[in-house]
Amino acid sequence: MKPSRVVLVALLGLAAAEARAARLLATPGRAVFAGVGGKAVVLQAEGATRVEVTAGGKTSVFVADDEGVWAITSVGGIAWQERRWQQGNAWVLALLVALDPKAKGVRTEHGLPSSYQPQSGSKVQIPAVEYRRDTKGVVGYTVGEIQVKRTESGPLPQLAADAFAVPKKQRTGLAKLADATAGLFASDKPNVSSTAGARGVTEEEKKLGSSYNFAAIEKVEKTTVDRADVDKFILDGKLGGGS
């Protein structure tokens, strides 16, 4: 093989390696990361990773597979970039961007993320991230001035069969409506089985979701959706309202 071809193959291999999603744990298992005002429970299997984020009395569920990272909502799996994110969510975004096989700017070592550099033109803007690792995986990371630490790690618990399932995947269209409705209650109620039993949820945590989030209701009332998106939603869902 000519030297030029060797270099080309090496570059293609390097590009392919960069395109793969990073893992947060060295092997399948469970870990908990303590962030700003909340925590993220990471459940990593062989082919997918589930992240359950609890903050501000609300639990959101994300699943990462070989097609991307998806927010699990009542209307399906929404690409994480489509959601409305606030500056205080940077610690969560640093986890999701590392898991996204389509994300750019993530550097890895031995399959684990080592750093992330902000990308111009990206839908989601977060500061640079430096990930710290040990033999079990990511032990913590710094995003901007925020420090996040892994507080627990262990084996992957027995989960329901659909714990890593992603319902109907959506990248555009009704994503903003799904994001708005996700905040109607203090806890999202995705159409996948909860892992609460495996995580040992306390009685106090079980009470979350019992009250309405009136700020979110007001946000939904102000949300508008194009007629074309509504028609497409009706047709795709075979609700009988389309022609």
Report strand pairing: 49-55 vs 58-65. Answer: antiparallel
* Closest listed residue to residue 128, CA positions, set 109, 141, 112: 141
Q: In what helix (H) or strand (E) does residue 197 lie, and over which residues does it extend?
A: helix 196-199
| Residue 44 pLDDT exceeds 50 | yes
Domains of the chain (ranges; CATH) run 22-236 (2.50.20)
pLDDT at 195: 55
What is the rounded CA–CA span in Å between residue 8 and residue 168?
38
Task: In whole angstroms, give the CA distance from residue 193 to residue 83.
Answer: 22
How large is the average pLDDT for residues 205-220?
49
Banded model confidence at residue 97, pLDDT cuts 50, 70, 90: very high
The mean pLDDT value for 104-111 works out to 94
Distance in angstroms (rounded) separating the CA atoms of residues 205 and 110: 36
Q: How far is CA 30 from the centre of its chain?
A: 15
Q: What is the pLDDT of residue 238?
A: 59
pLDDT tens for residues 125-176? 899 999 999 999 999 999 999 999 999 999 999 988 789 999 888 876 555 5
pLDDT at 69: 95
**Residue that wins the pLDDT comparison between 55 and 207:** 55
pLDDT of residue 222: 57
**Would you state the pLDDT for residue 17?**
41
Strand order from edge to edge, sheet including 112-116: 106-109, 112-116, 129-134, 137-143, 146-154, 29-35, 38-44, 49-55, 58-65, 68-73, 76-79, 169-170
Q: Which residue has the higher pLDDT, 33 or 20?
A: 33
Residue 154's pLDDT is 96
Alpha helices in 81-147 (DSSP H): 90-99
Q: Is 156 helix (H, G, I), strand (E, B) or coil?
A: coil
pLDDT value at position 2? 56
Q: Is the pLDDT of residue 221 over 80?
A: no
Instruction: Compute the distance between CA of residue 231 and CA of residue 130 in angstroms, rounded to an integer.
Output: 44
CA–CA gap between residue 95 and residue 129 (Å, rounded): 10
Q: What is the pLDDT of residues 224-235, one digit of tens each?
A: 677 777 777 777
| Tens of pLDDT, residues 62-92 | 999 999 999 999 889 999 988 888 878 999 9
Which of 188, 161, 166 minimizes the C-alpha distance to 79? Answer: 166
Which pLDDT band, with edges at 50, 70 and 90, does 10 fall under? very low
**Measured distance CA(106)–CA(99) in Å, rounded:** 9
Give the pLDDT confidence score for residue 121 in this predicted structure.
81
Specify the pLDDT at position 191. 44
pLDDT surpassing 70 at residue 98: yes
